[in-house]
Amino acid sequence: MKTRKLLALLLLLGLLSAALCGCGGGSTGETAESKPTDGSTPGTEAPGDPQGAADHPNEITVGIAQDLDESLDPHKAVAAGTKEVMFNVFEGLMKPTPDGDLIPAVAEKYEISDDQLTYSFTIRDGIQFHNGDPVTGADVLWSIRRCMPGGEADIQAVEALSAIQEAEYKENTVTLTLDQPNTEFLSYLTLAILPQGYDGQDTAPVGTGPFQFVSRAAQDNIVLERFDDYWGEPAYLEKVTLKIIENADSILMSLQSGAVDLFAHLTSTQVQQLGDAFNIEEGTMNLVQAMYLNNAAAPFDDVRVRQALCYAVDRQQILDLAFDGYGSLIGSSMYPAFGKYFDDSLTNYYPHDAEKAKALLAEAGYPDGFSMTITVPSNYQPHIDTAQVIVEQLKEVGVTAEILPVTWESWLNDTYIGRQFQATVVGVDASTMTARALLERFTSTASNNFINYNSPLYDSLFVKATSSGGDEAQTAFYKEMEADLTKNAANVYIQDLADLVAVRKGLEGVRFYPIYVLDLAGVRYTA
């Protein structure tokens, strides 16, 4: 008798869970619908008819390995992964092109005075935010002022904007006056223009880009829709769902099952397993991958030791062993996609030479080598693979290196901010499309100079570069700075990693930029 009761209980449990499943599913739909109303956004509308949208052919699902788990306000967002996606939603007065040039976006045109101190921008006629409001001079000025240093703590201040002495607008013309000429100034004006007085940016962002934000479900997906009132060439796709898939095996299965149409930043191993349903586009990650050395910590405070490591590491072998040959070698804190700023003559400044490395070590007082620790954030497999190859290569010259895998958080806290490390393998990116974004951090007083690089020549070159009026002179100074980093062996420079993007056959139009973005506006179904 009792067993029958037990059976009944089990049955009840089954029914209960079935009912709950119904609820569970229902609620996922609910959150997608209720989300925009939460943020009380006038512009972003809930996906009106989910069934209609599901049947529509003109949409794709893009896989991303990292969630956009922070504020979506472009002035607050920190993670490269967030900026990469939100590039499609926001625009500045200017916007970058795949070639590395800048073109007017929110501005229709601009004029620079002869003394290079006054910039006047004409706001594009009829341009709208995603919520339907027109873009005004007040919005532009507010957006720029919001990012000037000394503002709120969670806003990412743009140091270069402190050069603005006066800022004003009249009708649809915004005028900015600088205290000294700065040829790079325009590239900082790619900073997103947002509607003033709208307080939902954190969760329901509103910009002027080709795609508008629809919804975000934590650790699940982000939905973007084409902005039909876009001022420029509209996006081809009507809807893009960005699906968060962190597990490496699941990434492969999602591509092969047809759940995901496009996935960027794949490893060469993943690409080889993909089969022929996909085209593989190859770009660059736009990172300076290096074994960064703490220039203030023994034994790396001796330039000869740093140079010895540069000679000891065989970078081509790293590419061959850990990256199936993909990637482009670099010799300083600059990668090839930067075009005119990249100095290829530095790439092979330290050819692999174990004998020379040993001689330098002996000269520096380490004839028998030494022991060192390489700190590596353990969530980045490419960096771990690289470090492993380096460890083997350093054995040849008598240096015993040990890898210390740490979480990203403790890397940030102890290595990057605390500067408590000997060597670390990571990739450093550029926040804007300027040489300054990569090079300023190594000036001796920069707060993000985590390697404690200290070269008076470098500092003086940086002052010259930022104050020189002409583009050519400036470029020359930046190249001298790169050479200074190389000659002093500031770090063991390795490569700019290859960016392998899997695109389902039948889709085309992936565009690569010299900065870390995923431009979806050009992606389309081939006719």
Partner 1 sequence: MKYLLKRVLTLLVTMLTVSFLTFAAFSLISGDTATAMLGTAATPERLAALRAELGLDRPLLVRYGEWLLGFFTGDLGVSTSYKQPVWDILASKFRLTLCLSLMSFILIAAVSIPLGLWSAGRRRFEGARTALNQLGMAVPPFFTGILLSWVFGVGLKWFMPGQFPDAKQDFAGAAAYLFFAAVALSIPRIAMTARMLRSTVQEELGKDYVRTAISRGNDRGQVLRRHVLKNALPPVVTFLAQTMAEIVAGSIVVEQVFVIPGLGQMLVSSISNRDYPVVQAIVVILALWVVMAGTAADLINQRIDPRLRLGGAA
- Helices 303-312 and 381-395 sit at what angle, rounded to 10 degrees? 100
Contact region with partner 1 (CB under 8 A), list: 19-27, 286-294, 485-493, 513-521: 19-27
> What's the first-to-final CA gap in the chain, in angstroms?
68
C-alpha to C-alpha distances, 62 to 72, 410, 499, nearest whole angstrom: 18, 30, 15
Distance of CA 401 to the CA centre of its chain: 30
Min dist. Cβ of residue 144 to partner 1 (A): 18
Using CB under 8 A, which residues numbered 420 to 449 contact partner 1? 447-448
Given a contact cutoff of 8 angstroms between Cβ atoms, the answer to whether 361 and 369 are in contact is yes
Show the site string, 167-206: x = touches partner 1 by CB under 8 A, - = not: -----------------------------------xx---
Given a contact cutoff of 8 angstroms between Cβ atoms, the answer to whether 255 and 502 are in contact is yes
CA pair distance 520, 364, nearest whole angstrom: 52
C-alpha to C-alpha distances, 363 to 305, 328, 390, 393, nearest whole angstrom: 9, 32, 22, 20
Interaction between residue 154 and partner 1 (CB under 8 A): yes
Interaction between residue 12 and partner 1 (CB under 8 A): no
Min dist. Cβ of residue 425 to partner 1 (A): 15
**Contacts with 94 (C-beta within 8 Å, 6 or more apart), sequence order:** 102, 103, 104, 105, 107, 110, 186, 187, 189, 190
Comparing CB distances to partner 1, the nearer of 103 and 248 is: 248
Using CB under 8 A, which residues numbered 82 to 141 contact partner 1? none
CA pair distance 21, 19, nearest whole angstrom: 5
Min dist. Cβ of residue 125 to partner 1 (A): 34
From 52, 199, 257, 527, residue interacting with partner 1 (rule: CB under 8 A): 257
Using CB under 8 A, which residues numbered 54 to 83 contact partner 1? 54, 61, 63, 67, 69-71, 78-79
Interaction between residue 28 and partner 1 (CB under 8 A): yes
Comparing CB distances to partner 1, the nearer of 274 and 329 is: 274
Beta bridge partners of 502: 263, 280
From 280, 417, 463, 473, residue interacting with partner 1 (rule: CB under 8 A): 417
What is the DSSP code (8-state) at residue 424?
A: E
Min dist. Cβ of residue 195 to partner 1 (A): 18
From 126, 351, 392, 408, residue interacting with partner 1 (rule: CB under 8 A): 408
Using CB under 8 A, which residues numbered 200 to 239 contact partner 1? 202-203, 216-221
Given a contact cutoff of 8 angstroms between Cβ atoms, the answer to whether 480 and 301 are in contact is no
Comparing CB distances to partner 1, the nearer of 69 and 471 is: 69
CA pair distance 254, 490, nearest whole angstrom: 42
From 320, 414, 480, 508, residue interacting with partner 1 (rule: CB under 8 A): 414
Interaction between residue 277 and partner 1 (CB under 8 A): no
Comparing CB distances to partner 1, the nearer of 172 and 221 is: 221
